Amino acid sequence: MIEFFIDGIPIQAQKGQTVMQAAVASGVDIPFFCWHPHLSVPGNCRICMVEVEAEGGAWFDISCNMPVTAGMRVLTDSDKVKELRKDTMQLITLNHPVDCGICNKSGECMLQDHHFAYNGMPSLSRDPKTHATKFHNLSGRIMLDNERCIMCSRCVRFTDEVSKSHALGVQHRGDHSLIRCAADVNFDDDPYSDNVIDICPVGALLSRDLLDHARVWYLKATPSVCPGCERGCSINIWHRKPEWKLNSLDARLNTRIDRVTPLENADVNGPWICNKARDLATFFERDRVQQSMVRGAVVTSDKAVTTAAEIIAAAKRPVALVSNWGSNEELAAFHATLAPSFTSYVKTDCLPLPGERLEDDVLIKADKNPNTFGARALYPALPADVSQALPADTDVVLVWGEGAPWAQIPASATVILLTSYEHPDNARANVLIPISIQTERDGHYTNFNGTVTSFQRCFAKAPTVADAQFLFEAVFAAAAPLAGVR
């Protein structure tokens, strides 16, 4: 370790660290725009300038590219540093449109924050602002407002260094510079493209789908896990705060997912997620099953539980098809209650979508289910030859979740279906009980390498919908007196 000083306070730094890295690790605030802890250092913005005290006289340099040396004495808030930062902010905002009132980044914009902290003055220039391209489509997902762009180059470096699509570059020079797509690359083909929206320090890069949905101060972020593949990336699901509930508009706006962003997790996904995670609203907000049914007729939840218990108690050769979207808590509840009554197999709930990237060396994994590892720690996978698991004399099949091989379930078998979403195959069920989805409960998934990550409830479930964890316990309690549960 190397000891140096920031504003007179001794700081411990690792060999090879820059002043910026050591400051961030020690909780010292130095402003930045272009620097990002997971990208290379371009030294574009100059806002992180600091003063270094030395015998021959003080000198100034950008902290993001300044190696720490033993005994170095750095000043981050001297009068000269304040003056330099104020001048830098005047330059950066020289041609910025200052349209904060209509900008989606308002409320979490680094330019707003740093202007307030280090400048706070109207522009000194009286010349007309230089105008640039507005509402330029970088892709079908992302729109660029060049007038807001401060040329930090974070987006370019991301596509070069992380996603490696090399989709973005800088066109022209000086105050004519523009971010543009490479001529031979389609940015729509980059499955990580939306990360550039997160890392843009201003409102230059905008999600076309989420444009003008809601201000950030109306929303709250709930920690969760992306179920889109077995990586299990940590995410934040953003939704409306209860105190900002909408009363006059569509009530569904209060319980929708407004956006999904990464939740940094060094053990799983770092600070990135793929675009599939961004689109979770389209998956979670499909048409839901809301009512329990027995032989096609709507019944109460209690009646459905009792009927399911009677069927299980009387079964001679029951088979359970276990969901690999079930949480660890749900799997444990099933294992402790109903599993001894069944021969159980883990099915694949979700297969890759047409055109979806199967796997890469960044984040995406081929298995498009979040808890295969946890489920298969308890039960074997459903064999490719399904008839081995579901022979003709199978009399009861418990289907938990989606993706069941309906065509291969014996026609004579009684089917108990626990599902969340409407589907034509649901009509095959003799007993259907609606269950909650991930955003309606707390739980944990275990990803492909055994890392356990938690998710939290965002929304309340409907009164007629059951949590699978407690449903298993209820069915077991109802079946036990019938003495058929082994």
Please report, for the domain that includes residue 264, its CATH number: 2.20.25.90
Q: Which of 283, 453, 447, 272 is nearest to 363 (CA)?
A: 272
Q: Are the C-beta atoms of residues 326 and 344 closer than 8 Å to each other?
A: no
Which residues, at least 6 apart from 411, have a Cβ–Cβ distance to it below 8 Å? none
What is the C-alpha separation between 341 and 348, in angstroms, rounded? 21
Residues 333 and 411 placed together within one structural domain of the fold: yes
pLDDT at 279: 96
pLDDT at 172: 86
Q: 268, 284, 300 — which closes off a domain?
A: 284
Residues 253 and 277 placed together within one structural domain of the fold: yes
Edge-first strand listing for the sheet containing 343-346: 297-299, 292-294, 431-434, 414-419, 396-400, 318-322, 343-346
pLDDT at 4: 95
The CATH number covering residue 157 comes to 3.30.70.20
Q: What is the 3-state secondary structure (H, E, C) of 239-255?
A: EECHHHCCCCCCHHHHH
Q: Are the C-beta atoms of residues 475 and 337 closer than 8 Å to each other?
A: yes
Q: Are the C-beta atoms of residues 72 and 4 closer than 8 Å to each other?
A: yes
Over residues 234-249, the mean pLDDT reads 93
pLDDT at 212: 78
Is 90 exceeded by the pLDDT of residue 250? no
Residues 277 and 242 placed together within one structural domain of the fold: yes
Residues 364 and 475 placed together within one structural domain of the fold: yes
Q: Write the DSSP assignment of 8-77 as a string of letters.
A: TEEEEE-TT-BHHHHHHHTT-----SS--TTS-----S-TTEEEEE-TT--EEEEGGG-B--TT-EEESS
What confidence category does residue 485 fall into, taking pLDDT thresholds of 50, 70 and 90? very low
Digit-coded pLDDT (tens) for 163-202: 999 999 999 887 778 999 999 999 999 999 999 999 999 9
Compute the residue count for the chain.
486
Residues 24 and 130 placed together within one structural domain of the fold: no
Find how far residue 161's CA is from the centre of its chain.
20
Least confident among 118-122, 164-168, 397-401: 118-122
What is the C-alpha separation between 49 and 61, in angstroms, rounded? 5
What is the C-alpha separation between 295 and 429, in angstroms, rounded? 7
Which residues, at least 6 apart from 251, have a Cβ–Cβ distance to it below 8 Å? none
What is each CA distance from 218 to 6, 69, 239, 251, in whole angstroms?
37, 45, 8, 15
The phi and psi torsions of 454 (rounded to 5 degrees) equal -95, 155
Torsion of Cα atoms, 140 then 142 then 144 then 148, to 10°: 160
Mean pLDDT of the chain: 94
Q: 244, 266, 284 — which closes off a domain?
A: 284
Over residues 434-463, the mean pLDDT reads 97
Is 70 exceeded by the pLDDT of residue 423? yes
Which residues, at least 6 apart from 364, have a Cβ–Cβ distance to it below 8 Å? 191, 229, 231, 274, 276, 357, 358
Residues 449 and 307 placed together within one structural domain of the fold: yes
Q: What percent of the chain has pLDDT over 70?
A: 99
* Matching residue, tokens 């509840």: 333
Torsion sign over Cα 79, 80, 81, 86: positive
Containing domain of residue 39, as a range? 2-92
Residues 110 and 227 placed together within one structural domain of the fold: no
Digit-coded pLDDT (tens) for 331-359: 999 999 999 999 999 999 999 999 999 99
**Each residue of 450-476: b (16+ CB within 10 Å) or e?**
eeebebeebbebeeebbbbbebbbbbb
Q: 239, 256, 284 — which closes off a domain?
A: 284
The CATH number covering residue 335 comes to 3.40.50.740
pLDDT at 484: 47
Over residues 112-131, the mean pLDDT reads 88
Q: DSSP letter at 170?
A: E
Q: Are the C-beta atoms of residues 238 and 257 closer than 8 Å to each other?
A: yes
Residue 10 CB neighbours (<10 A): 9
Q: Write the DSSP assignment of 124-161 as a string of letters.
A: S--SPPPP---SEESSSSEEE-TTT-----HHHHHHHH
Residues 307 and 413 placed together within one structural domain of the fold: yes
What is the C-alpha separation between 118 and 97, in angstroms, rounded? 19
For residue 281, which amino acid is it?
A
Residue 163 CB neighbours (<10 A): 22
Here the tokens at position 184 are: 């031979």
What 3-state class would DSSP assign to 408? helix
* Matching residue, tokens 């806002």: 47
Residues 104 and 86 placed together within one structural domain of the fold: no
Is 80 exceeded by the pLDDT of residue 483? no
The CATH number covering residue 86 comes to 3.10.20.740
Domains in the chain: how many in total?
4
Q: Which of 260, 322, 249, 321 is nearest to 285 (CA)?
A: 260
Residues 133 and 76 placed together within one structural domain of the fold: no
Residues 252 and 196 placed together within one structural domain of the fold: no
What is the C-alpha separation between 71 and 10, in angstroms, rounded? 9
Residues 325 and 409 placed together within one structural domain of the fold: yes
